[in-house]
Amino acid sequence: MQVILTAVGPDNRGLADPIVHYVSGAGANISEIQMYDHDQERVFAMLVRMDWPVERESVAELRRRMRQIGSAKGLSIRTWSRDEHDRPPRLAICVTFRPEPALAVLRAVHDKRLHATPAVVIGNREACHGVAEQFHIDWHCIGDPAGNPDNDRLVELLDEYDVDYIVLARYMRVLPASTCWRFAGGRIINLHHGLLPSFPGPTPYQDAYEHRMLTYGATVHFIVPELDAGNQIIHQSTFTVAHGTPLDEILRIGQSDHEPECLVEGLRRVLEHEIELHFHRVVRSNRATAGL
């Protein structure tokens, strides 16, 4: 069974050793290790992806052991496997102003086009509170009056709701690196309202319009720590407009119709295990290769 461990905490000596020693001694086949050690910030972060021998030890027991190591070393360690539970993956949907992407995901779940459970909707603004109410899903606002999020509270909620995947459905705030590391390994999925890598940033429609583009689009990609450049693309789609189409109409098409559809398709690819994230690269999953 594939298991991902993430560890985050104050930098110190010998933090990785007990983790690697325990899992290798238990017979795990380690396929990926990434470490971040920033002396200036004194932050340590680590990801381990491995095939875990569940016939010898359950994931729950591994989680307990990792918590013991984390307590001894001052690390926040998370143990996650998408296949641990016989239930649909649990989603946290993060939003700011625009409701359409979140609505599209919730409707796709309701219509059984997405095999998942929306566990919670989290906003840094109150604008999408009604979306959660419409689908009878718990709502939490983590933003101050200016919309600045409480990122510690965000992490608390993701743990509290036992979330498998975090869906940034036009969530217009950058996640701090520490949060990205805590849920690294392909668990954070972002909708960018433009074609990457050509049009990054907060105004991709306007930027493409200024370049007199006739083709616009959206990108669904994994968020990775320290490298949120959108290169970890899950799915992209485009739409074409006639010459002279005003920007307001382009925005209407993109925001109301195109972006939501792109997000649903990208999320489907993740939930149905068509693709995975390995070493910051999107690859076809073993399940897809085996036709499972």
Known catalytic residues?
228
β-strand 233-240 against 43-51: which pairing, if any? unpaired
CA-nearest of 90, 18, 11, 86 to 48 is 18
- DSSP class of 114: S
Residue 132 neighbours by CB under 8 Å, 6+ apart = 121, 138, 139
- Tell me which amino acid residue 159 is: D
Long-range contacts (CB closer than 8 Å, 24 or more residues apart) made by 279-282:
279/32, 279/34, 280/224, 280/227, 280/231, 280/232, 281/232, 282/222, 282/232, 282/233, 282/234
φ, ψ of residue 92 to 5 degrees: the values are -105, 125
Closest CA to 179 of 207, 156, 197: 156
Q: Which residues pair with 253 in a beta bridge?
A: none
User: Two tokens at 8?
Assistant: 């985050």
CB 105 within 8 A of CB 93: yes
Q: Is the peptide bond before 176 cis (omega within 30 degrees of 0)?
A: no
